[in-house]
């Protein structure tokens, strides 16, 4: 499971012009589910993201997590994060999980974040979405659940 994490002042996702999910200060997560992923991957990433100390404290140091100030998360499914561009010019998405597997893991990730008491907004799986954000910092990180196994 791959997550691109962006610290935001605000973010929203629209589908056909209508707001599907919207947050204030917090984290936008673009989440890609791989074929080999399990609920352990989802649990690992949700715990890691909720506890990431990427928000500034009173001294201007990144020392606070979402839990320290009731921040919010917007989760947007993003299978293209699993795109393999090593060969040719057209990405291969063979490593991305099929929807019947990816949807339950995506939903598990959302629920796991909510279980920490975080307000979570989402996009819609398999929809064409327009994502808007005000990147705060900017702070952008990439997390991969397979790295926990190293």
Active site residue 69: no
CA 83/CA 40 separation, integer angstroms: 22
Q: CA torsion 46→139→121→33, rounded to 10°?
A: -50
Measured at the CA of 134, the angle between CA 34 and CA 25, to 5 degrees, comes to 85
Q: Which of 55, 79, 109, 122 is catalytic?
A: 79
Q: Which of 6, 78, 109, 122 is catalytic?
A: 78
Q: Which of 80, 111, 126, 146 is catalytic?
A: 80
Cβ burial, residue 10 (10 Å; 0-12/13-18/19+): middle
Active site residue 78: yes
CA 115/CA 112 separation, integer angstroms: 5
Beta-bridged to residue 21, according to DSSP, are: 13
Active site residue 79: yes
Cβ burial, residue 141 (10 Å; 0-12/13-18/19+): middle
Indicate which residues carry an active-site annotation: 78-80
């Amino acid at each position: 499971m791959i997550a691109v994490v962006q610290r935001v002042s605000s973010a929203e996702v629209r589908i056909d012009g209508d707001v599907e999910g919207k947050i204030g200060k917090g984290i936008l997560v673009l989440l890609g589910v791989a074929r080999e992923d399990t609920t352990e991957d989802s649990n690992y990433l949700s715990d890691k993201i909720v506890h990431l100390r990427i928000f500034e404290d009173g001294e201007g140091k990144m020392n606070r997590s979402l839990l320290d100030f009731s921040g919010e998360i917007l989760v947007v499914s993003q299978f293209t994060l699993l795109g393999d561009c090593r060969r040719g010019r057209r990405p291969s998405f063979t490593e991305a999980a099929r929807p019947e597997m990816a949807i339950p893991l995506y939903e598990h990730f959302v629920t796991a974040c909510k279980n920490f008491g975080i307000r979570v907004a989402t996009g819609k799986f398999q929809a064409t979405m327009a994502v808007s954000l005000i990147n705060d910092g900017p702070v952008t990180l990439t997390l991969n659940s397979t790295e926990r196994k190293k």
